[in-house]
């Protein structure tokens, strides 16, 4: 396990209780859109890697129906515990601790592999893509999402908060593989019928306090918890100043995130 991976797992494990649960539309609609584009059919067997709290998992289960089978894996034990409990009433769904980098299943076990906003966290995404291809049956398909562009006001707010931590140069990661459509297509050279589209997720926040809570409910928790308690009020005020231009007519903060949706055939 790469040295940085336990740290990432720890961040998500800490965030599990509030993940996708602070009243902001983000992961769930993005996951639903990935499921729609994956065109999962009744009776299909689906593997959802890095399943988190089920943003993709539950939509995949609905699409596959009672005659299908959906397996969710995640390396954060608390995420798995909570999602497994939420899926307990679904006999065709199972959730377990598992590595999205190298899923431990027999070749040809699945019709569809989904990966919602997870591949860029992995130490070796190309190797993961090869592993997913091995897991798919002939005619199977992979569907994954990655960030295409963040709202500039969002990035400004992140930098404003980071200025109040020891990580003053903190910024959103921009992995090489996912920097554009050309590099994604190159990584999927062995696949067929590669389709890359974009989806715009518009999220609303009642104010900067909800934005800060939301940041602390996902991978952004690493940044928020790096702010010393005595500087949190100043960091919040700095973020509010950066987000002022994102206020919509109803007074809420409105941010748009562009997400790439990729579907490829085995």
18-32, 69-83, 159-173: least confident range: 159-173
Distance CA 153, CA 246 (A): 7
Residue 166 has pLDDT above 80, yes or no: no
Mean pLDDT of the chain: 94
**Burial track 66-88 (b if 16+ CB lie within 10 A, e otherwise):** eebbbbbbbbbebbbebbbeebe
Confidence (pTM): 0.93
Spatial contact of 214 and 28, defined as CB atoms under 8 Å apart:
no
Instruction: Report the candidate in 198, 8, 31, 16 with the shortest Cα–Cα distance to residue 114.
Output: 31
Per-residue pLDDT, averaged over 14-24, amounts to 95
Listed by start position, the domains of the chain span: 5-148+174-201+256-265
Structure tokens at 133: 């291809």
pLDDT at 98: 98
**Burial track 158-167 (b if 16+ CB lie within 10 A, e otherwise):** bbbbbbbbee
Spatial contact of 223 and 159, defined as CB atoms under 8 Å apart:
no
pLDDT at 20: 92
pLDDT at 177: 80
pLDDT (tens digit, 9 = 90+) per residue, 126-153?
A: 999 999 999 999 999 999 999 999 999 9
3-state secondary structure of 139: strand
Instruction: Report the candidate in 3, 9, 25 with the shortest Cα–Cα distance to residue 252.
Output: 25
- Domain 5-148+174-201+256-265: which CATH class? alpha beta
pLDDT at 167: 64
Distance CA 188, CA 4 (A): 26
pLDDT at 175: 58
Per-residue pLDDT, averaged over 142-167, amounts to 94
pLDDT at 1: 45
Residue 3 has pLDDT above 50, yes or no: no
Per-residue pLDDT, averaged over 197-219, amounts to 97
Give the model's confidence band at 46: pLDDT under 50 very low, under 70 low, under 90 confident, else very high: very high
Structure tokens at 72: 């969710």
- φ, ψ of residue 108 to 5 degrees: the values are 70, 25
């Amino acid at each position: 396990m790469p040295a940085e991976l336990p740290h990432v797992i720890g961040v998500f494990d800490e965030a599990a209780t509030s993940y996708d649960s602070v009243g902001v539309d983000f992961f769930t609609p993005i996951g639903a859109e990935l499921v729609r584009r994956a065109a999962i059919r009744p009776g299909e067997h689906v593997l959802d890697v890095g399943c988190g709290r089920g943003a993709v998992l539950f939509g995949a289960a609905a699409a596959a129906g009672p005659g299908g089978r959906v397996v969710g894996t995640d390396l954060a034990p608390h995420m798995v515990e909570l999602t497994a409990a939420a899926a307990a009433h679904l006999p065709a769904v199972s959730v377990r601790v598992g590595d999205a980098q190298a899923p431990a299943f027999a070749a040809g076990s699945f019709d569809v592999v989904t990966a919602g906003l997870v591949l860029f966290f992995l130490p070796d995404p190309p190797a993961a893509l090869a592993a997913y291809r091995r897991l798919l049956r002939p005619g199977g398909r992979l569907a994954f999402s990655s960030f295409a562009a963040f709202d500039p006001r969002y990035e400004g707010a992140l930098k404003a908060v980071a200025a109040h931590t020891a990580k003053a140069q903190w910024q959103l990661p921009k992995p090489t593989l996912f920097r554009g459509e050309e590099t994604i297509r190159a990584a999927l050279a062995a696949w067929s019928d590669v389709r890359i589209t974009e989806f715009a997720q518009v999220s609303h926040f009642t104010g900067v306090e909800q934005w800060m809570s939301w940041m602390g409910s996902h991978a952004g928790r690493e940044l928020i918890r790096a702010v010393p308690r005595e500087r949190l009020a100043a960091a919040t005020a700095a973020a509010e100043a950066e987000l002022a231009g994102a206020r919509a007519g109803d007074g809420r903060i409105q941010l748009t995130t562009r997400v790439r949706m990729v579907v490829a055939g085995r």
